[in-house]
């Protein structure tokens, strides 16, 4: 099992991202539906983590201290919203009262004030919705709340009395000591090959030994006051680093333009920096499409090759059960796909409805999927198979 603790600062960044996403969307409800329908590129940072938690790959640990810190930050941010918007509103009102301000535009003061107020209400609503959604996540069965206990508080205060930690570090100590106490009480043993504890925080000076050597998965070790030889926690800066290591979510960048240089010279013409495709015969069109598809296939093959190379670099550092799970998921997906294609109702239309990763004879893209995406594909195929069996 992989146990993950996410620091308060990461959650706050997540909430700000959520608010900005809703603010910039022309229609946030439609965007949300699209996000749910297409999980291949999740816009929300916690989406993949939730999938991994639901299937038991990850256990998200949420100490009570973190929840209390979030409650405090929530109050501060809401107060800041009202304070800052009020300052803007007062500034507008004071400026329009001045004698040198044009009388012709004084009548828009009310409109500006209303706009400011609408923005304040909307931004506050977005924040409160995101905040409630986060705490709803904490109430799920696959999330473990770690309550403050007398033992945790005692261990933390002993470190304070001995001078190992200061007042400003007490919350961090309560969090880590609480996690250690939970693991000690609820696990009969710790398997160093299959169990992993990850601390995620972008405030490295609070938790991590940044001057020491990096550990496996390019992670930091924790500072001396947090060290535990049994659990050997790994420190990571953000969820992207976590996903890259446990979800096989790597950034594989290939410059596609380089592949199409000769193709463009052959088929695309320019006049005054505007391109056009000359009139061609049906046979020439078919040949161009075939060449285009060959290049596209080559790009995917090269991408898969790069992914495989990167995957091989990382695979031996991952828990064995994660490696096995990935293989099992791919095998199961290919088996389900074969069953679907063997049903009487399966046809070309069904084939076109398949996700991109499953189209074509070789299904090359499936080998570059994240674990969370593989889990989603498996679920979708199971539903498709049931539908076609009943038809």
Bigger pLDDT: 266 or 124? 124
Residues 198 and 10: their CA atoms lie apart, in Å, by 14
Confidence band (pLDDT; 50, 70, 90) for 183?
very high
pLDDT digits (tens, 9 = 90+) for 125-157: 999 999 999 999 999 999 999 999 999 999 999
Sorted by where each begins, the domain ranges of the chain are 2-246, 318-391
Please tell me the pTM assigned to this model.
0.75
pLDDT digits (tens, 9 = 90+) for 97-115: 765 555 566 667 778 888 8
Query: pLDDT value at position 324?
Result: 84
Burial 304-324 (b: 16+ CB within 10 A, else e): beebeebbeebeeebbebbee
Query: pLDDT value at position 71?
Result: 97
Say how many residues make up the chain: 391
**pLDDT surpasses 70 at 80:** yes
Q: Would you state the structure tokens that stand for residue 132, as one six-digit string?
A: 């409630």
Query: pLDDT value at position 19?
Result: 87
Q: Would you state the structure tokens that stand for residue 70, as one six-digit string?
A: 């979030």
| Among the ranges given (126-140, 191-205, 330-344, 352-366), the one the predictor scored with the smallest mean pLDDT | 352-366
Residues 153 and 82: their CA atoms lie apart, in Å, by 36
Q: With left for phi above 0 and alpha for psi between -120 and 50, is residue 327 left, alpha or beta?
A: alpha
Confidence band (pLDDT; 50, 70, 90) for 314?
low
Q: What percent of the chain has pLDDT over 90?
A: 32
Residues 374 and 364: their CA atoms lie apart, in Å, by 13
């Amino acid at each position: 099992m992989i146990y993950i603790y996410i620091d308060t600062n990461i959650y706050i960044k997540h909430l700000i991202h959520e608010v900005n996403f809703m603010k910039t969307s022309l229609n946030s409800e439609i965007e949300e539906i699209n996000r749910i329908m297409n999980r291949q590129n999740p816009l929300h940072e916690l989406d993949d983590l939730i999938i991994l938690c639901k299937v038991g790959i990850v256990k998200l640990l949420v100490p009570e201290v973190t929840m209390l810190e979030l409650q405090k930050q929530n109050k501060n941010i809401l107060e800041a919203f009202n304070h800052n918007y009020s300052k803007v509103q007062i500034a507008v009102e004071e400026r329009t009262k001045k004698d040198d301000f044009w009388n012709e535009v004084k009548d828009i003061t009310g409109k500006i004030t209303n706009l400011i107020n609408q923005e304040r209400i909307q931004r506050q609503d977005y924040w409160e919705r995101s905040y409630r959604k986060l705490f709803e996540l904490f109430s799920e069965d696959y999330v473990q709340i770690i309550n403050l206990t007398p033992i945790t508080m005692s261990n933390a205060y002993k470190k304070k009395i001995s001078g190992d930690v200061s007042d400003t570090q007490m919350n961090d100590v309560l969090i880590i000591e609480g996690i250690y106490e939970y693991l000690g009480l609820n696990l009969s043993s710790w398997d160093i090959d299959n169990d992993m504890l990850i601390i995620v925080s972008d405030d490295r000076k609070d938790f991590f030994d940044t001057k020491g050597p990096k550990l496996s998965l390019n992670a930091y070790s924790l500072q001396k006051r947090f060290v535990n030889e049994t659990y050997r926690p790994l420190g990571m800066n953000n969820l992207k680093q976590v996903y890259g290591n446990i979800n096989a979510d790597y950034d594989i960048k290939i410059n596609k333009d380089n592949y199409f240089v000769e193709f463009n010279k052959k088929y695309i013409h320019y006049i005054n920096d505007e391109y056009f495709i000359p009139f061609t015969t049906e046979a020439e069109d078919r040949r161009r499409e075939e060449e285009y598809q060959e290049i596209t296939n080559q790009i995917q093959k090269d991408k898969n090759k790069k992914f495989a190379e990167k995957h091989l670099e990382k695979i031996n550092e991952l828990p064995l059960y994660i490696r096995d799970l990935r293989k099992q998921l791919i095998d199961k997906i290919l088996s389900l796909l074969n069953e679907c294609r063997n049903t009487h109702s399966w046809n070309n239309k069904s084939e076109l409805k398949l996700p991109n990763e499953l189209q074509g004879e070789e299904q090359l893209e499936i080998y570059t999927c994240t674990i969370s995406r593989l889990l989603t594909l498996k679920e979708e195929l199971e539903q498709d198979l049931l539908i076609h069996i009943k038809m």
